[in-house]
Amino acid sequence: MVSKLSDNQRSLKLAPLLQDGGWKLQSERDVIHKSFSFANFNCAFAFMTAVALQAEKMDHHPEWFNVYNRVDITLSTHGCQGLSSRDIDLATHIDEAAGKYISQN
């Protein structure tokens, strides 16, 4: 079973995503959230496809919302009802994928 991030893990692994990566904690849930903007729908959809393929491999799926060139993503681990290392790993992959598709603008 996956466990919630400890205080130490939050300091070491989560803090860089929050400080430098643009991810934000939400006050009402133990989740991280980030919005992405792309040049057009095709870039946004290609990004979502790349994330979906990785999420399926990880068996860890994001909550997301897409309108035209914008994609909003929320990550949390339902099994532990909060943030886990799986969210950190997926957020890192998401940021890498976004860099590929945002640079196509």
Q: Indicate whether 105 pLDDT > 60.
A: no
According to the model, what pLDDT value does residue 79 have? 86
Q: Indicate whether 101 pLDDT > 80.
A: yes
Which is nearest to 95 in space by CA: 76, 69, 75, 67?
75
For 82-97, how does the pLDDT look when each residue is reduced to its tens digit (9 = 90+)? 999 999 999 999 999 9
pTM beyond 0.85, yes or no: yes
**List of residues 6+ apart from 42 with CB closer than 8 A:** none
Which is nearest to 88 in space by CA: 1, 26, 29, 4?
4
Three-class SS state of 92: helix
For 28-77, how does the pLDDT look when each residue is reduced to its tens digit (9 = 90+)? 999 999 999 999 999 999 999 999 999 999 999 999 999 999 999 999 99
